Amino acid sequence: MTENITLDGVIEATAGWFDPASGEDDVSDVETALRIQREAADALLLGRVTFEQMRGYWPLQTDDTTGITEYLNDVSKYVVSTTMQAPEWERTTVLRSVDDIRALKSETGADIVTTGSITLVRELIAARLVDEYRLFTYPVVLGRGQRLFADATAVPRLRLVESQPFRSGTVLLRYRTT
């Protein structure tokens, strides 16, 4: 799981705190870390809302120099939805349940990464399907908004395996379940 998160645990980007395209900070080192993560993954797992937001934006980008557009168009994508019939984005498979995710995870392959997808991520945590938490922690405190660990009772014990500060003040914290 890769999430952008504030110091107080908010992952909801609707408050305007997360805008990597603003150009205010040099984020080339963050982009490098994200590229390394992309190269280690051969599948992307998303909830329906995040999938639809990404599908409506990324395939239309023609001047992306980060490699994200190419990656998203080429990677195997899985969207979890009980209502979606046709995903309308190449290399996308619709999954219906946590059991489908568990089956996908049991297959041979590289990392399966999820990002955004607040409802899905909480379900994955509760089902103990998250092996690694990659938290890009931004030096922002909001005091409100949807938090990653809204109900911390399902969170397993975590072990810090990496902390990487970036020039912008963002810090990547990587935790693995124990």
What is the residue-level pLDDT of the chain in tens, covering all 178 positions? Answer: 999 999 999 998 776 667 655 556 788 899 899 999 999 999 999 999 999 999 999 999 999 888 899 999 999 999 999 999 999 999 999 999 999 999 999 999 999 999 999 999 999 999 999 999 999 999 989 888 888 988 777 788 999 999 999 998 999 999 999 8
The domain segmentation of the chain, as residue ranges, is 2-16+27-173
Question: Per residue, what are the HEC states of 23-68?
Answer: CCCCCHHHHHHHHHHHHCEEEEEEEHHHHHHHHCCHHHCCCCCCCH
**Whole-number pLDDT of residue 12:** 83
CB 166 within 8 A of CB 172: yes
Phi, psi of 150 (to 5 degrees): -65, -35
**Whole-number pLDDT of residue 15:** 62
Q: Report whether CATH 2.40.30.10 matches the domain 2-16+27-173.
A: no
Structure token pair of residue 117: 């997808």
Model-level pTM? 0.91
**Whole-number pLDDT of residue 143:** 87
CA distance linking residue 75 with residue 129, whole number of Å? 20
Q: How many CB atoms lie within 10 A of CB 63?
A: 5
**Whole-number pLDDT of residue 144:** 87
- DSSP code string of 103-163: HHHHSSSSEEEEBS-HHHHHHHHHTT---EEEEEEES---S-S-BTTSSGGGPPPEEEEEE
Structure token pair of residue 40: 């280690």
CA distance linking residue 101 with residue 125, whole number of Å? 12
**Whole-number pLDDT of residue 92:** 97
